[in-house]
Amino acid sequence: MYVALFTRCPNNIELLQQAVDLRQEKAKMLGFKSHASYTLDDLSMNNPDMVLDMLNTLRTQLTPMARRELAQLRAIKQADCESKGLEFTDFYDWDLAYYKRTKTECTHNIDSTLIKSYFHVPDVVCRLFALFEEIMQLRFCKVDASVWHPLVELYEVWDTNEFVGHCYLDLYSRPRKYANGATFHIRSGFTRKTGAREYPVVALVTNFVQPTNGEPALLSHANLKTLVHEMGHVLHNLCSVTKWSMFHGTRVCRDFVECPSQMLENIIWTPSVLQKLGVHYQTKQPIPLCIVDAIIAAKPQVAGVFYLQKLFYAVYDISIYHSPGSHVDASLVYNTLEKNVALCNTGGIETIGAATTRQVVRGYDSKCFVYLWGQALAADMFSTRFGRDGVFNQQTWMEYRNVILRPGGSTDIMNCVHQFLGRKPQYNAFFTQIGLD
């Protein structure tokens, strides 16, 4: 399966190469050193050297951590093979997911089925909305309306007595539906010439398993993370107040668009919040602290490998679009960096992962670093402000809402971050968050 996955679509290699070459050519015609220089020009990280410095800093810290984790997983696989009378050869890239899960379950005694029983979709949504009302003064009120599917729900959102906007929830999977989690602008907010406000309408889309035949819709902790992440985009769109629709909500520079959602993700790694959200769907008892502790303790498992893979895609992306020459072999760069940066062992099998790395041609060209940059900013903001003031501190959340979310893309977002933090961003909180002292 691994070989089939990473050797599919071979014809895409030629198309990718053409896209890279043409983009480099266009950038130089416009007076830029490279395509990366051109696409980063209006971002907060606005030149390739800044990006490379950041990636090198992260790589220096993450690589030793990832090597230790891979050595642990290799030992687990070896012991597993010996216990089953199987020959052990090596630890390969396709072993990662299975033995990562094995390590987590053995180390922390995680029962994923039991965890799901505490996160019933309707209950979680209700409790999330109650939390947002408590910390951000946002009240979600379900309304009867004509919607595109019986399982879709529409909510009016209010700030005390002031209307904020509308939010659709389309949470359950069905045939021919968009297959990923996403938040869509249906209408952006803006101010009319008359001074009247046009209010935002946003749709949160996920693909959780539908409740069927008496079986409830339950979330894994990973599902909960997806829901909260997308809620972060919803809040960004609802809380933004801008004159022009083109700057509304998540219409910020690309290297910040994920940051508010990544910031909000931190709440589901906070024991007190998990205890608010987790209630058994049958007994209605709150999630036990021992389960909460197990969930949180499992978070750093193989974090070095996980983030090193993210870093690999970012390094690959900036490498093919910031080459000093006029031509770069995109597939060769991918395969070289996969081994040297991501530490992948494909067992000598020649893969063509570059053929299906869609981020580098679909809007994130030269910008694949934004996930890591956003994660670092999010960790810094959450740790610095909510770590100090408390996760339920309404004053701090309202400051976050007004300083970070409200402006959308209408101002220099890094000035907003500096204002909220009281200083320039740092990486320390991110490293601590992933278990790197």
- Cα separations in angstroms, 329 against 217, 224, 344, 368: 47, 40, 20, 18
Burial label for 173, CB within 10 Å (0-12, 13-18, 19+), is middle
User: Could you report how far apart the first and last alpha carbons of the chain are, in Å?
Assistant: 37
Please state, in angstroms and rounded to a whole number, the distance separating the CA atoms of residues 267 and 256: 19
Q: Which two tokens stand for residue 163?
A: 């209307």
The residues, ordered by sequence, that sit 6+ positions from 405 with a Cβ below 8 Å of its Cβ are 235, 236, 239, 240, 260
Please state, in angstroms and rounded to a whole number, the distance separating the CA atoms of residues 305 and 416: 32
Question: Could you give the residue numbers annotated as active site?
Answer: 230
Contacts 24+ apart (CB under 8 A), 22-26: 23/321, 23/365, 24/321, 24/323, 24/326, 24/327, 24/328, 25/326
Radius of gyration of the chain (CA): 23
Between CA 269 and CA 276, with CA 270 as vertex, the angle to 5 degrees is: 110
Burial 249-276 (b: 16+ CB within 10 A, else e): bbbbbbbbbbbbbbbbbbbbbbeebbbb
Please state, in angstroms and rounded to a whole number, the distance separating the CA atoms of residues 236 and 258: 10
Please state, in angstroms and rounded to a whole number, the distance separating the CA atoms of residues 16 and 342: 21
Between CA 58 and CA 375, with CA 339 as vertex, the angle to 5 degrees is: 25
Question: At which residue do the structure tokens 């399966």 appear?
Answer: 1
Q: Look at phi and psi of residue 234 and say left if phi exceeds 0, alpha if psi is from -120 to 50, else beta.
A: alpha
| Strand-by-strand arrangement of the 182-187 sheet | 138-143, 153-159, 162-172, 201-208, 182-187
Sequential pLDDT tens for the chain (437 residues): 888 888 899 999 999 999 999 999 999 999 999 999 999 988 888 889 999 999 999 999 999 999 999 999 999 999 999 999 999 999 999 999 899 888 877 777 778 899 999 999 999 999 999 999 999 999 999 999 999 999 999 999 999 889 999 999 999 999 999 988 999 999 999 999 999 999 999 999 999 999 988 899 999 999 999 999 999 999 999 999 999 999 999 999 988 999 999 999 999 999 999 999 999 999 999 999 999 998 998 876 778 999 999 999 999 999 999 987 667 899 999 999 999 999 999 988 888 888 888 888 888 899 999 999 999 999 999 999 999 999 999 999 999 999 999 999 999 999 999 999 999 999 999 999 888 76
**Quick check: 202 and 250 in contact, CB under 8 A?**
no
pTM: 0.90
Choose among 181, 429, 430: nearest CA to 307.
430
- Cα separations in angstroms, 164 against 193, 242, 264: 19, 13, 20
Contacts 24+ apart (CB under 8 A), 110-116: 110/294, 110/295, 110/298, 112/220, 114/291, 115/220, 115/221, 115/291, 115/295, 116/218, 116/219, 116/220
Please state, in angstroms and rounded to a whole number, the distance separating the CA atoms of residues 349 and 359: 24
Neighbours of 411 (CB within 10 A): 13
Q: Collapsing DSSP states into helix, strand and coil, what is residue 194?
A: coil
